[in-house]
Amino acid sequence: MVNRAIAAQPSDVRTNKVCDAEFWYSKNALLSLLASLFLIVLSISFLIPPFQSPDEFVHFDRAYLLSKGDAFLNSKGNVSGGHIDTGLLTFMNLFHPIPFRYENKIDNRGRGVSQQVRWSGKKQFIALPAVYGPLLYIPQALAVIVGETSGMTVSDTYYLARFFSLTVTLALLGCALLLYPAPLIVIAVFIIPMSLFQMGSSSMDSVSFATCVLAASLYKRGCDNNFSFNQFMLYALSVCVLALATARWYLFPLTLLPAFLYINRGSYSCILHSAITGVLSLAWIGYAITTYQSRLLVREVSTPGIAFYYLTNPLRLFNVLYTTLTDKASITGYWHMFVGVLGWLDAPLGSYVYVLCAVLLCIFAGISFQRNTTCLTKGRNVILFCVAIASGLLLFIMYLVAESQHPATVVQGIQGRHFTTVVILLCYAIFDRRLSRNEFRLGVIIIFAMLCLSIAGMSPTLLDRYWVGGGFQNSSNQQIDFNADAYYNRGVAYCKVRNYMQAIADFDRAIEIDPEYSAAYYNRSLAYSKLGNYKQAIADCDRAVGINPKYAAAYYNRGLAYGKLGDHRQAISDFDRAIGINPEYADAYHNRGLADGKLGEHRQAISNFDRAIEINPDYAAAYYNRAVVHGLLGEHSQEIEDLKKAGSLDSQDAKKR
């Protein structure tokens, strides 16, 4: 293929040289910066045990599957997932006790045990969501291939994945800064504690940050007629956008960027690339939604049902977003997580770090903000600003639909690092002013101060959080003597913060102490259900009702698990048992109605919804699902009436809260 240049539109003549981009760094200075970042992150990485970035277990599983050529998940029954090497699972299990359990530490002895684990060649099926697209996992997947084929231990392979991820991150960042002058404030984004922490992990976050910088640089270069722009660069922009939109769905608006290059370059290939990346991204998102399982404990309405609810109730959507964005506690939490609450959000930095970072970034933003109205309102900057805002808005909507309790009053589940890519886009849109010599010097001083602040804040936090003598143990070097109730209660607490793996571990301990602890079996079944392991959930419910035959909730949860596996007859049987024990069990009637609907027994379904509403007149989900069945039967007047009632109840509930 010939790498032809895409010519600029001849009618676009520059009249304001102040807006022209200018490199503020030399190639040697850039190499020095990247080398310094590499050494700093490598040093920090040695303080971080494996899998201590949020969801890193899942991220590494995805990388492992990609190394085997599995970009798409497999299915086992109705559960999506993949076959993972049992050696890798053993290695992971060594580090499961650390997240959310501050008393658990690791020393050289504990590390030595983990370094002896080898690849087994045997596979075990693990339930996984297909939320993340595969492109950003290529560095880690290559590390797994190299590690397995060369006979490296699992531990060495894991650290190789960290090395590959960091190398690719800095390589992408370097390419971006060579292609187009980056705003100085972008460098500041990469040296805050959270960014440094993510660059030291094996998750795909740091690669996504650098990919976003590369996409923004390619877009700005394509819009700037002082720079050449060829077909290879257009392909690179499309790949970056596709990688980001399939891994972070809220970045889907980025797929429009290639099309906007048509304004300056006048090439229809720009529009074609945008259309192709948009279609491929939507296809992946559609596929991922079909395999996605919400991590919440209780959601009576499906994710598509919640999406439809907010689509037909835009005022309700606006109210939730407004409440979230004006909630002081939420904004403070977002800021702390953006700057750096390390680990699984269980290792906060000193309060001074958040305050000083805010001060330094505000000063940086003040000197970098584009005050020239002509430059600020140029089409390329306005478009990038709109794409960034749209991506931020989609972030809140996505977590409202997929991760928040329904009906919601605020959006739940968003982490500060999710804002990093949006902030990078905003930096390119409104903080790209050409700095004076004195402003540039001040910016460099601020970056150096932020780097020192990050290192000073992270080092003691990581040492205190993860390292102490005595292997995996508590920080006082004493064995914690918990009884069954203590483990059970802590397991319930872990469920509330959606740390289901640790919850299962605590329920295991409670059952070891008291093998007849029916509530522990029941709650462990709930945790297994949230992880998609429905067969194990059924087994735990079997044990719970074996100990306590009158355990209505256990029959109910077993019915839910059978329903997830497609055995709706057995689900109805269990709902019958739950209702037989508790005739006022509204949820059991409601879910029995859903099972009847799956079997096409629509009149019976309506009868169950009627009973659920009779018990609980404010049961919005029952009204909603009864409306759906009325619609299937062509009874549209009843359908409309039930939909109105469901919407009214949700609004009333929001006001009460």
pLDDT given for residue 494 in this prediction: 77
What the block records as the tokens of 134 is 């595969």
Task: Return the closest-CA partner of residue 276 out of 321, 246, 312, 310.
Answer: 246
What is the C-alpha separation between 319 and 644, in angstroms, rounded? 18
Host H or E run for residue 18:
none
pLDDT given for residue 17 in this prediction: 55
Residues 311-365: tens digit of each pLDDT: 888 998 999 899 889 888 889 889 999 999 999 888 889 989 999 999 999 998 8
pLDDT given for residue 230 in this prediction: 92
The percentage of the chain sitting over the pLDDT mark of 70, rounded to a whole number, equals: 89
The CATH code that applies to domain 484-656 is 1.25.40.10
The conformation of residue 83, written as its DSSP 8-state character, comes to: E
pLDDT given for residue 404 in this prediction: 77
pLDDT given for residue 636 in this prediction: 86
Which stretches of 565-635 are DSSP H helices?
568-581, 586-598, 602-615, 620-632
What the block records as the tokens of 348 is 């906060």
CA–chain centroid gap for 494, Å, is 19
Q: Name the pLDDT band for 490 (thresholds 50, 70, 90).
A: confident
**What average pLDDT score do residues 445-454 get?**
94
Beta strands, E only, 470-616: none
Is it the case that residue 426 has pLDDT exceeding 80? yes
Q: Name the pLDDT band for 393 (thresholds 50, 70, 90).
A: very high
CB atoms under 10 Å from CB of 172, counted, come to: 23
| SS (HEC) of 324-377 | HHCCHHHHHHHHHHHHHEECCCCEECCHHHHHHHHHHHHHHHHHHCCCCHHHHC
**Is residue 394 within 8 Å of 253, Cβ to Cβ?**
yes
Which of residues 470 and 540 earns the better pLDDT score?
540
pLDDT given for residue 15 in this prediction: 41
The mean predicted confidence, pLDDT, of the chain is 86
CA–chain centroid gap for 405, Å, is 17
Q: Between β-strands 123-127 and 79-85, what pairing exists: parallel, antiparallel or unpaired?
A: antiparallel
Is it the case that residue 180 has pLDDT exceeding 80? yes
What the block records as the tokens of 475 is 């920080």
Q: Name the pLDDT band for 18 (thresholds 50, 70, 90).
A: low
Is it the case that residue 573 has pLDDT exceeding 80? yes
- Best mean pLDDT range from 106-110, 117-121, 210-214, 327-331: 210-214
pLDDT given for residue 283 in this prediction: 93
Average the pLDDT over each of 55-59, 157-161, 205-209, 280-284 and give the range with the smallest value.
55-59
**Is residue 207 within 8 Å of 168, Cβ to Cβ?**
yes
Instruction: Tell me the CB-side half-sphere exposure of residue 315, using CA atoms within 13 A.
Output: 5
What the block records as the tokens of 168 is 């690719």
What the block records as the tokens of 76 is 């086992």
Average the pLDDT over each of 109-123, 179-193, 211-225, 521-535 and give the range with the smallest value.
109-123
The conformation of residue 306, written as its DSSP 8-state character, comes to: H
Q: Name the pLDDT band for 77 (thresholds 50, 70, 90).
A: low
Locate the domains of the chain by residue range.
24-458, 484-656
pLDDT given for residue 645 in this prediction: 85
Residues 21-69: tens digit of each pLDDT: 678 888 898 999 999 999 999 999 999 999 999 889 989 999 999 999 9
Peptide bond into 407 cis (omega under 30): yes
pLDDT given for residue 219 in this prediction: 96
Is it the case that residue 651 has pLDDT exceeding 70? no
pLDDT given for residue 12 in this prediction: 41
